[in-house]
Amino acid sequence: MANRVYPLICYISRLTKRLNPRLMTGIILISFLILIALLAPLITWYPPLKSLVGKPFTPPNLQHPFGTDDLGRDIYTNVIYGIRTSLTIGVSSVIIALLIGVIAGVLAGYYSGIVEDVLMRLTDMTLILPQFLLALVIVAIFGQSFQNIILAIGIVSWPGIARMLRAEFLSIKERPFIEAARAVGLSDMRIIFGEILPNAIPAVIPYVVLQVNTAILVEAGLGFLGVGDPNVPSLGLMLNTAQQYLTRSWWMALFPGLVLSFLVVALNLLGDGLIDYMNPRLRKR
Amino acid sequence: MLRVIDVKKYFPVGTRIFGKSRHYLKAVDSISFNAFQGDSIGIVGESGSGKTTLARVILRLIEPTSGEVYFNNINILKLGRREIWKLRPKMQMVFQDPMASLNPRKKIKQILSQVFEIHTNLTRQEILERVIELLEKVGLTPPELFLDRYPHELSGGQRQRICIARAIALNPELLIADEPVSALDVSVRGQIVNLLLDIYEQYRITYIVISHDIALIKNICKNALVMYLGKMVERGEIEKIINEPLHPYTQLLISTIPIPDPEIARKRKRVSVIGDIPSLLNPPRGCYFHPRCPYSMDKCRLEYPPLVEVDDRLVSCYLYS
């Protein structure tokens, strides 16, 4: 047992030496938050969104560590479940954005001519629309459900990914090993997905992480404006309710706000750290 | 057998939004030559003379402006995608920079086995055997040591061996080597040249070696083609070209070969050349070489000299017509 664990520790310590402090902190904070989100049912003792588990407007005490809100719901429980919602929405909407963005970026970058022109104009058109407003309109039209919010955020955040991938493709496809691949007789699909994409991905990863961050903020913003899904615990929605009672019960705004900031800072650290990590010229040897 | 007839490649310069650009960069201008099975032809010229562009056209990696390329009597410039793909294993190329022409994110095993994956129906195990065989053939022993390496973990010479292995994997009939040793240390150049010669002896393939170094061509090829600014200035047997260069530009190239014996070197006729290579965008009128040529005449300034046959060679110079 011991001689199995020892190499593992060595490996981890070697790995941590190569990571920069921002990336390290980001990884630790995000793992902590993911852990909380996963363990939500175990570390809370009320069902989420259930009214009157305590007296309304109870200040923080042992029973309700973050107090209760206007409907007597436990804020601690809802904040913990809110992390879960935020992360789910952030990650799934970015996956949707990735699906659209990768297809558009790859095609526009690899094939020049009409394909590129049409796709890039489409990307520009989406890009000039204010992200938040567009998401707001989509949710307002199609209804305030959890899936619609994910879809709306996904649809507004693909252009950045598409543009970055296209730029990477434009430069990588001119490199000699692509010509070598063509001389050997590789098909376009194999060149795109086997040769170019693996070389383009590292440049896009930090951006994708930061995009998760934006998605979480957009979701919170939608909730704050009252177009969140009322059936899902959301940090934004909680802040929306809290502003009406800000003068009499500060705890209703403080804890969801703190947790949201914590989430955003953690993701920012992770994304920024990754940018440095992926750029070997900035990496200290 | 390879026949190249009047191949031209013009790149448009300064494209305008509407209409076609009026200026062209004539990278390859009317090049013709034949190469029979087992022939070896060297293409010599300084950088920017269109050697690599010519090679790309022959392999149809880029589309030429005009001309015909026959490979085993098939005009490859008229083939569709599917047909050209079927011909790919028969015509291969070794690229200039071995580091840049290998995908940095793929292991040697993957780089070599994908050639078999797309052109043969061999099983995984059979492909692995062929890859090991290939590595041995290009002198990377023991092969097991190289299978799981990445290109950046190899030395320059080893990388070029991998590139050569990739090119000969499917027993090509035509192999183009584009500056095969110029990116390598002098110490490993000889080894790679010997490897290229071994492969030539073994397979009797048609060889085209591109280099700026006429001494290298002399070691590998029987025939040579000298290019200057996209034009062919002299073509013929390498021995004759080296011993008695006809075109003044060829004389200049020959005079750059170092001679180990200082006694002989001192006796050598020095060719003095003035000026730099002119821009391809705005080549001089008449013979492209006349501003630098010690023998330039009035005629040279007016019209480009036609190719004439002198002593079993083709040369484009008014000195011989």
User: Do the beta carbons of residue A169 and residue A231 sit within 8 Å?
Assistant: no
Kindly tell me if the per-residue pLDDT of B57 is higher than 70. Answer: yes
Please report the pLDDT score of residue A280 as a whole number: 61
Instruction: Count CB neighbours of A146 within 10 A.
Output: 17
Domain presence at residue A130: yes
Domain presence at residue A65: no
Domain presence at residue A37: no
Chain A closest CA to B103's CA: distance in Å?
6
Is A201 within 8 Å of chain B by CB?
no
Contacts of B56 in chain A (CB under 8 A): 179
Domain presence at residue A270: yes
Please report the pLDDT score of residue A159 as a whole number: 93
CB contact under 8 A, B95 and A176: yes
Confidence of residue A29 (pLDDT cuts 50, 70, 90): very high
* DSSP SS3 for B74: strand
Contacts of A185 in chain B (CB under 8 A): 85, 88-89, 118-119
Question: Residues in chain A, how many?
Answer: 285
Confidence of residue B261 (pLDDT cuts 50, 70, 90): confident
The dihedral sign for the CA sequence B222, B226, B231, B233: negative
Alpha-carbon span B56 to B45, nearest angstrom: 16
Per residue in A43-64, pLDDT (tens digit) is 998 989 888 888 899 999 988 9
Domain presence at residue A23: no
Domain presence at residue A224: yes
Give the mean model confidence (pLDDT) for residues A100-120: 92
Query: Which residue out of B87, B101, B134 would a mutagenesis test of the A interface target, given it has the greatest number of A Cβ atoms within 10 Å?
Result: B101
User: Do the beta carbons of residue A262 and residue A34 sit within 8 Å?
Assistant: no
Give the mean model confidence (pLDDT) for residues B135-144: 91
Domain presence at residue A63: no
Query: Which residue out of A184, A189, A192, A199 would a mutagenesis test of the B interface target, given it has the greatest number of B Cβ atoms within 10 Å?
Result: A184
Kindly tell me if the per-residue pLDDT of A4 is higher than 80. Answer: no
Query: Which residue out of B63, B71, B103 would a mutagenesis test of the A interface target, given it has the greatest number of A Cβ atoms within 10 Å?
Result: B103
Closest-CA residue of chain A to B117: A186
CB contact under 8 A, B103 and A190: no
Query: Given A175, A183, A190, which is nearest B100 (Cβ)?
Result: A175
Residue A129 lies in domain: 76-283
Alpha-carbon span A246 to A248, nearest angstrom: 6
Kindly tell me if the per-residue pLDDT of B20 is higher than 70. Answer: no
Please report the pLDDT score of residue A51 as a whole number: 87
CB contact under 8 A, B61 and A182: yes
| B251 phi/psi in degrees, rounded to 5 | -60, -40
Chain A closest CA to B150's CA: distance in Å?
14
Please report the pLDDT score of residue A13 as a whole number: 78
Query: Which residue out of B53, B71, B88, B105 would a mutagenesis test of the A interface target, given it has the greatest number of A Cβ atoms within 10 Å?
Result: B105
Please report the pLDDT score of residue B320 as a whole number: 86
Domain presence at residue A36: no
Closest-CA residue of chain B to A195: B103
Please report the pLDDT score of residue B265 as a whole number: 79
Kindly tell me if the per-residue pLDDT of B21 is higher than 70. Answer: no
Is A171 within 8 Å of chain B by CB?
no
Assess: ipTM above 0.95. no
Residue A54, CA distances (Å) to A73, A230, B264, B288, B292 in order = 7, 20, 106, 94, 97
Share the mean pLDDT of chain B. 89
Query: Given B56, B97, B118, which is nearest A186 (Cβ)?
Result: B118
| Cβ-Cβ contacts under 8 Å for A64 (sequence gap 6 or more) | A54, A58, A74, A75, A76
Is A112 within 8 Å of chain B by CB?
no
CATH number at residue A217: 1.10.3720.10
Please report the pLDDT score of residue B258 as a whole number: 81
Confidence of residue A278 (pLDDT cuts 50, 70, 90): confident
Burial A121-134 (b: 16+ CB within 10 A, else e): eebeebeeeebbeb
Chain A closest CA to B236's CA: distance in Å?
28
Query: Given B88, B95, B96, which is nearest A185 (Cβ)?
Result: B88
- What is the tally of structural domains in chain A? 1
Closest-CA residue of chain A to B111: A181
Kindly tell me if the per-residue pLDDT of A116 is higher than 70. Answer: yes
| B153: its two tokens | 């973990």
Per residue in B142-162, pLDDT (tens digit) is 999 999 999 999 999 999 999
Closest by CA to B193, choosing from B216, B166, B168, B225, is B216
Contacts of A181 in chain B (CB under 8 A): 103
Closest-CA residue of chain A to B60: A183
